[in-house]
Amino acid sequence: MLAGSNYLDLAGDARVIAAAQEASASAGCAAGGSRLINGNLCLHEALEQELASFVGAEAALIFSTGYMANLGVITTLAGPDDVIISDALNHASIIDACRLSRASTRVFRHNDPEDLERIAAGCAGFRRRVLVLDGVYSMDGDVASLREMAPIARAHDMVTVLDDAHGLGILGPSGRGVASLESVAVDVQIGNLGKALGSFGAYVTCSHTLRELFINRARSLIFTCGLAPGPLGAARAALAILESEGWRRVALLERAEQLRAGLKASGYDTGRSTTHIVPAIIGDNQAVMSLCERALELGVHAQGIRYPSVPEGSARIRFTPMCSHSVEDVEHVVKLFSQLPH
């Protein structure tokens, strides 16, 4: 399996499963309503405190999915009198949130601080300026250039929002994510419980003031059921394991680098990847899907990705290893793909 996001192989960990079972047995299989009515559980607030402490933020807020977290945060922070400055390769949920906000949206070239500066210089007349970035770009595997972009954001009085769905638990000191890796503070960090933490749901870390604002203004939080007890229990257990078993993060990044180097040596273009997301860029849609299907027949699931998930003409196989893959597993995958027509 090289097509999932269970990066630290915690989704099937016996301790995580037991924690999900215990939470469900204690609090039931559903929150039973919106968090603003009757669905706010002690489990939500306990996980929020633990996530805020882990990331190093004042506060955290649990959303039901990552998509809903991005919609809630961005539409709360920006409206018709505001401007959102968005990276060209931001996730689809960010793009949709920008549209729903009714704010003016300006897109800058991917990870290009000079283009960000150019666009920021023309946004002085708006009530509020919001910079939105992915931490790890999910189709390319590169990292946001926060060290260069954060000073630009501060100089132009921007609120900085970082969607670090793929960075939490893996990158930076102790797996605290891309902002920690880049030694940069952001105003809002959005993360996912369904990737490195092997559970389901999402979170936002921010100040106490922003948390209160999101609770009272984020429609994707207000008008939906709270996250169920089972995933909350699972995420709490996974977070504790993540903090105590750093070998998982180290092993994942080592296997990713082995895979990237092997694919390059076999003639594949791995693009800008520096993380645990490793693309093999082919270009042609049909060629990519034929390669994907042939590999699956031979026992390797590495998914073909086409437009609109990636720009036209940049179709690719997207590899996402896990920490539990062995050196021999990766050697096998590289050998297989080196022998397949590409």
Q: Is 17 exposed, middle or buried (0-12, 13-18, 19+ CB in 10 A)?
A: middle
pTM of the predicted model as reported, rounded to 2 decimal places: 0.95
Q: Is 55 exposed, middle or buried (0-12, 13-18, 19+ CB in 10 A)?
A: buried
Cα 288 to Cα 342: distance, rounded to the nearest angstrom: 8
Q: Are 242 and 175 contacting, i.e. CB atoms less than 8 angstroms apart?
A: yes
The reported pLDDT for the residue numbered 47 is 98
The reported pLDDT for the residue numbered 104 is 98
Domain coordinates of the chain in residue numbers? Answer: 14-244, 247-339
**Tell me: the pLDDT tens digits for 39-80?**
999 999 999 999 999 999 999 999 999 999 999 999 999 999
**Tell me: the pLDDT tens digits for 96-123?**
999 999 999 999 999 999 999 999 999 9
The share of the chain scoring above pLDDT 90, in percent, equals 98
**88 pLDDT tier (thresholds 50, 70, 90):** very high
Cα 182 to Cα 47: distance, rounded to the nearest angstrom: 25
Give residue 220's Cα distance to chain centre: 18
The reported pLDDT for the residue numbered 19 is 98
The share of the chain scoring above pLDDT 70, in percent, equals 100
Arch. (CATH architecture) of 247-339: Alpha-Beta Complex (3.90)
**Tell me: the pLDDT tens digits for 173-227?**
999 999 999 999 999 999 999 999 999 999 999 999 999 999 999 999 999 999 9
DSSP string, 303-323: EEE-TTTS-TT-EEEEEB--T
Strand segments, DSSP code E, in 129-199 are 129-134, 158-163, 188-192
Q: Which of 156, 195, 276, 325 is catalytic?
A: 195
Question: Taking the alpha carbons of 227, 173, 187, 108 in that order, is the dihedral positive or negative?
Answer: negative
- Token digits of residue 107: 């897109």
Query: Is the model's pLDDT at 342 over the cut of 90?
Result: no
Q: Which of 64, 86, 101, 138 is catalytic?
A: 138
Q: Is 42 exposed, middle or buried (0-12, 13-18, 19+ CB in 10 A)?
A: exposed
The reported pLDDT for the residue numbered 229 is 98
Q: Is 24 a catalytic residue?
A: no
Q: Which of 44, 91, 156, 166 is catalytic?
A: 166
- Token digits of residue 307: 């437009």
Q: Is 195 a catalytic residue?
A: yes
Query: Is the model's pLDDT at 324 over the cut of 90?
Result: yes
Q: What is the mean pLDDT of residues 148-177?
A: 96
- Token digits of residue 207: 């100040």
The reported pLDDT for the residue numbered 3 is 96
Give the residue ranges of DSSP H helices in 28-112.
42-55, 66-77, 92-101
The reported pLDDT for the residue numbered 259 is 98
**Tell me: the pLDDT tens digits for 118-144?**
999 999 999 999 999 999 999 999 999
Name 45's Cβ contacts closer than 8 Å, sequence gap at least 6.
Answer: none
Strand segments, DSSP code E, in the chain are 59-63, 83-87, 104-108, 129-134, 158-163, 188-192, 202-206, 278-283, 303-305, 315-319
Name the DSSP class of 165.
Answer: T
Cα 29 to Cα 148: distance, rounded to the nearest angstrom: 45
Query: Is the model's pLDDT at 167 over the cut of 90?
Result: yes
Phi and psi dihedrals of 218, rounded to 5? -80, 105
Q: Is 325 a catalytic residue?
A: no
Question: Taking the alpha carbons of 195, 198, 200, 205 in that order, is the dihedral positive or negative?
Answer: negative
Cα 333 to Cα 329: distance, rounded to the nearest angstrom: 6
The reported pLDDT for the residue numbered 187 is 98
In the CATH hierarchy, which fold is given to the domain comprising 14-244? Answer: Aspartate Aminotransferase; domain 2 (3.40.640)
Query: Is the model's pLDDT at 341 over the cut of 90?
Result: no
Query: Is the model's pLDDT at 287 over the cut of 90?
Result: yes
